[in-house]
Amino acid sequence: MKILISDPLHEDGIELFKSEGFEVEVNTGLSPDELHKVIKGVDGLVIRSATKVDKALLDAADNLKVVGRAGTGLDNVDIPEATKHDVIVMNTPGQNSNAAAELALGHIFALSRNIARGHQGLKSGKWEKKQLRGREVKGKTLGIVGLGNIGAILAELGAGVKMRVIGFDPYLDAEAIKARGAEPVSFDDLVKEADYISIHVPKTKETTGLFNADTFKKMKNSAFVVNCARGGIINEEALCDALDAEELAGAALDVYEVEPVPAEARILCADGVCCTPHLGASTYEAQVNVAVAVARQISGYLKGGEPEFAVNAPK
Ligand code: NAD
Ligand code: MLT
């Protein structure tokens, strides 16, 4: 049986497939047309966020049984269409959550202490010791939107640095939110009360543009927002306008409406924005975890086992 790996995957995952007797083709950075050719005869497809699994790719596939996401987000997969094509879709929940939560906390500190601005200033010959006075996070309110795998870890990290942690998640009851380390609040209260807002929800119809012009107006002028979840959950144009109007103090982004984000994009030039290039899961540990997990899950399924972490159920 054949596995196609169309986005970068750690060697440990590739070796696991080979040791289970699969033929493995690693072919990354392909255009849709190229992908439509190489998908022929493939039983299992391994992706991260770059490959778009849409109707055209599923139509082109003649033998595909399973798509495995080495990571969490499945917004690049048309799941209903996969179901129609009898293709199981699975992800590897939890395997990169610590990495993403640590990056969110890193961004909180970077914003609070002007780390990126200090670095940039020094490189251009400026010693901005007075201008870049920061704030401490101790005693401040951290508002977490989405208390799933990553949100729960961030809640623990936030408490560890002595923040008050509040959380909003409409799919969890109050007890579950408390058990994940946050005080349950409404979305409106979270936006109004938080000194730092960190977003950890999937990108869905409901969460696209969740942070828009109205949301920013409700935030404290001294507050920061961090998005290490998915581009588009924050409306970038509205964020730039709100930063210009000083409706909030700053923002940190790891994910963008368009990736790779174009160098001339307004969001990269906005004052008070600290950016990383989708690094949430880019740690050695997380990449080994997701690669081994996806290889283990796909091998198990293709060899007749029950699908693990499947998000659909073709008949
Ligand atoms: P998860 O499924 O474990 O948790 C998501 C949580 O969001 C769930 O508890 C769900 O109930 C909640 N939720 C859904 N809709 C909501 C809404 N409208 N308002 C509030 N809460 C809502 O997912 P996770 O592993 O914690 O991942 C969270 C996000 O982070 C996903 O978008 C994922 O793709 C992204 N992610 C990004 C990186 C990165 O590299 N930057 C790495 C890993 C995950
Ligand atoms: C994810 O959803 O798991 C992330 O976007 C991580 C990634 O694959 O870069």
How confident is the model over 200-234, as pLDDT tens digits?
999 999 999 999 999 999 999 999 999 999 999 99
- pLDDT of 154 higher than 90: yes
Residue 262 tokens, joined: 């174009």
Ligand 1 pocket residue status of 168, Cβ below 6 Å = yes
Q: Is the pLDDT of residue 102 over 90?
A: yes
Q: Is the CB of 171 under 6 A from ligand 1?
A: yes
Q: What pLDDT is recorded for position 249?
A: 97
- What pLDDT sits at residue 213? 98
User: What was the pLDDT predicted at 315?
Assistant: 86
Starting from the edge strand earliest in sequence, which strands make up the sheet with 273-275, in order?
A: 183-184, 164-168, 141-145, 196-199, 224-227, 250-253, 273-275
Is the Cβ–Cβ distance between 13 and 294 less than 8 Å?
yes
Average pLDDT over residues 90-111: 98
The arithmetic mean of pLDDT across residues 102-118, rounded, is 97
Cβ contacts of 69 within 8 Å, gap of 6 or more: 47, 48, 77, 89, 90, 91, 92, 294
- What's the pLDDT at 271? 85
Confidence of residue 6 (pLDDT cuts 50, 70, 90): very high
Residue nearest to atom 11 of ligand 1 (CA): 171
pLDDT band at 263 (very low <50, low <70, confident <90, very high): very high
Which whole number is the average pLDDT over 36-60? 97
Dig out the tokens for 257 from the structure: 């409406």
User: Residue 270: what pLDDT?
Assistant: 83
| CA of 91, closest atom in ligand 2 | 3
User: Is the minimum distance from the CB of 278 to ligand 2 under 6 angstroms?
Assistant: yes
Ligand 1 contacts CB of residue 149 (under 6 A): yes
The closest residue, in CA terms, to atom 2 on ligand 1 is 148
Query: Of all atoms in ligand 2, which is nearest to the CA of residue 280?
Result: 6
DSSP 234: B
The reply to whether 230 belongs to the active site is yes
200 flagged as catalytic: no
- Residue 93 scores a pLDDT above 90: yes
Atom from ligand 2 closest to the CA of residue 49: 8
Radius of gyration of the chain (CA): 21
Ligand 2 centroid vs 49 CA: distance in angstroms?
Answer: 6
Rounded CA-CA distance 199/269 in Å is: 22
| pTM (global) more than 0.95 | yes
pLDDT digits (tens, 9 = 90+) for 164-213: 999 999 999 999 999 999 999 999 999 999 999 999 999 999 999 999 99
Pairing status of strand 196-199 against strand 141-145: parallel
Closest residue CA from atom 12 of ligand 1: 146
Which whole number is the average pLDDT over 33-57? 97
What's residue 150's pLDDT? 98
Alpha-carbon 111 to chain mean position: 19
CB of 82 sitting under 6 A from ligand 1: no
- Can the peptide bond before residue 32 be classed as cis, meaning omega within 30 degrees of 0? no
Asked if 160 and 225 touch (Cβ cutoff 8 Å), the reply is no
State the average pLDDT for the chain.
97
Return the structure tokens found at 126: 């400026």
Domains present along the chain, CATH in parentheses: 2-95+284-302 (3.40.50.720), 97-275 (3.40.50.720)
Cα–Cα distances in Å, from 148 out to 8, 77, 112, 177?
A: 25, 20, 25, 9
Whether the CB of 243 sits within 6 Å of ligand 1: no
Angstrom CA distances, 300 to 133, 162, 266, 296, 297, stand at 54, 43, 46, 6, 5
Can you give the pLDDT at residue 269?
85
Q: Are 28 and 5 in contact (CB under 8 A)?
A: yes
Nearest ligand 1 atom to the CA of 168 is 20
Residue pair 82/290 in contact by the 8 Å Cβ criterion: no
- Burial group, residue 271, by CB count within 10 angstroms (0-12, 13-18, 19+): exposed
How far is 173 from 188, CA to CA, in rounded Å? 17
Q: Supply the pLDDT for residue 262.
A: 95
From ligand 2's centre to the CA of 48, what distance in Å?
A: 6
